[in-house]
A and B are shown apart, each in its own frame.
Chain A
């Protein structure tokens, strides 16, 4: 690509380039504005008094922000409790998936045992069973365990991930063979080698898996809807639905609740964009 440091051959070419860039910026900005519009309107409504939301023609500016609505959303919608629940559930699932995936991926990458390839295929086969297909028997299982309305019910079914195992195995396979020999010479057992060499060397993949797992766990909808009725265990996604159904006309309250439910994960995206993109592009299977 030509940069301004390069000698300019012809003036018209340069003008054309500047115009081209301006057009690109214009297109980018218009696209960004369209994508952000729903988010912008949500924030505006959350800060307007209800009468203003109903005004016609619509007013899309905030003149007098009603921060109080956010306080009310926390109180009437018990959003604080739901956020804590979501945080507990998503964190536990993330930690669990990282642990089970590291263990299984290590076995597939470094150990020799009978039926290894067959077992790997079995792992991959679990990806072919969509959660939506098995909700009825899974509901029955969780019910038999007495885990309806419990953290266990929300967490345990999701503690293993074939996608994560696959992702980490690929990363583990790139660990140089010399290192394995050297570690063995130094008297490292499998556990020492796994924790002190393999995992640190694969931290990019582990990070990608962790961010990806957290995102999927935080955003889960169908399963928490099925197995939680009790406010004590509802996640924020289901809490948001409850807030909508019981306050359908209080759009400012509902929109404040939406912002509260969305904010933590948007912050996560901005902080860990690189990891998330890696997780998404290295297979991108929704679990």
Chain B
């Protein structure tokens, strides 16, 4: 009766051991309910219910003072989908992902390749390369707020000394998003490094040895052995970094508050300002639904890799 094997789930669950099977089924099910209860209650209250509620709030339009709201059906979703603000916010978020993900990935890969050698003192280098994983978004942002400040100008001094013009990083509409991206790349570097290094360590040494015997040089081995073997890890890192980019908020809040001229007004920052500053809950909710759908697609891609990891173990 409770044979669930018909359900299509990719991960095979083991059958419980002998003696317990003899116990009354009902008792075991009740015990399972007790064990799962706390998590289920929390997920229901703080994930599933609010998700449904977000969809629902999108059907209501707030008046300009945020005092009352009227049911407008899908009108508001359509308005948001067609609004320039939303389009610009999506483009900004996409650009932000474009600025941060490929660069971050290449830098993380470079660091991981450097650190994937047997050299004395490597532990120290690995710790340094991982260090930004422990840096919070607030700490990183305040550090870079100072580094990028035009009147202190460590970076600008360096630029001028090397013959470039000084840049008003956070105040110039053209430079603000690159500046925020720079902060984010630095912030994510530790994570990217750790994940890629772990991936490198799972590639069997013999593959390199046999490629060497076949006369493959270092560059050829990188492109024909390392990168293909690493591709699941790299794709996994790309997805996680992209999801992070779409969920970014803290660095925007501290560095630019969405400005100048909305050039850094990414999706989550827009949700925050609509929902908590302008009291446009409905608009914020509709944008939240859009964010949910984007992250959903990215997460589904990610699950495919989680699944693969489960199958082949670590």
Taking CB atoms, residues of chain A closer than 8 Å to B264 are none
A-B pair count, CB < 8 Å, reads 310
CB distance from A243 to the nearest CB of B (A): 8
Specify which of A100, A116, A134, A283 is in contact with B42 (CB 8 Å cutoff): A100
Check A56–B157 contact: CB distance below 8 A. yes
Interface size on B, residues (CB 8 A): 109
Q: Is residue B153 within 8 Å, beta carbon to beta carbon, of the partner chain? A: yes
Check B253–A32 contact: CB distance below 8 A. no
Q: Contacts A132-B288, A136-B275, A273-B127 given; indicate if A104 touches B143 (C-beta within 8 A).
A: no
Specify which of B11, B50, B114, B130 is in contact with A27 (CB 8 Å cutoff): B114
Q: Is residue A137 within 8 Å, beta carbon to beta carbon, of the partner chain? A: yes
Taking CB atoms, residues of chain A closer than 8 Å to B114 are 24, 27-28, 31
Check B33–A280 contact: CB distance below 8 A. no
Q: Is residue B219 within 8 Å, beta carbon to beta carbon, of the partner chain? A: no
Which interface class (under 10, 10 to 19, 20 to 34, 35 or more) fits A? Answer: 35 or more
Q: Contacts A128-B295, A136-B285 given; indicate if A113 touches B2 (C-beta within 8 A).
A: yes
* Alpha-carbon distance between A221 and B281 when the two chains are bound, in angstroms: 21
Q: Contacts A28-B115, A181-B18, A226-B276 given; indicate if A157 touches B299 (C-beta within 8 A).
A: no
Check B136–A262 contact: CB distance below 8 A. yes
* Interface flags, B91-122, vs A, CB<8A=1, else 0: 00000000000000000001100110111000
Specify which of B16, B149, B268 is in contact with A112 (CB 8 Å cutoff): B16
Specify which of A41, A100, A286 is in contact with B147 (CB 8 Å cutoff): A41
Taking CB atoms, residues of chain A closer than 8 Å to B137 are 219, 221, 237
Identify 28 residue pairs between A and B in the complex whose beta-carbon atoms are under 8 Å apart, listed by A's number. A1-B118, A28-B125, A31-B111, A31-B114, A42-B146, A107-B31, A110-B20, A111-B16, A111-B32, A112-B21, A112-B28, A113-B28, A133-B51, A136-B50, A136-B53, A137-B57, A160-B38, A162-B39, A240-B138, A241-B254, A262-B139, A266-B131, A277-B130, A277-B194, A277-B198, A282-B309, A282-B314, A284-B191
7 A-B pairs with least C-beta separation:
A137-B50, A219-B136, A134-B50, A137-B53, A160-B42, A269-B134, A221-B250
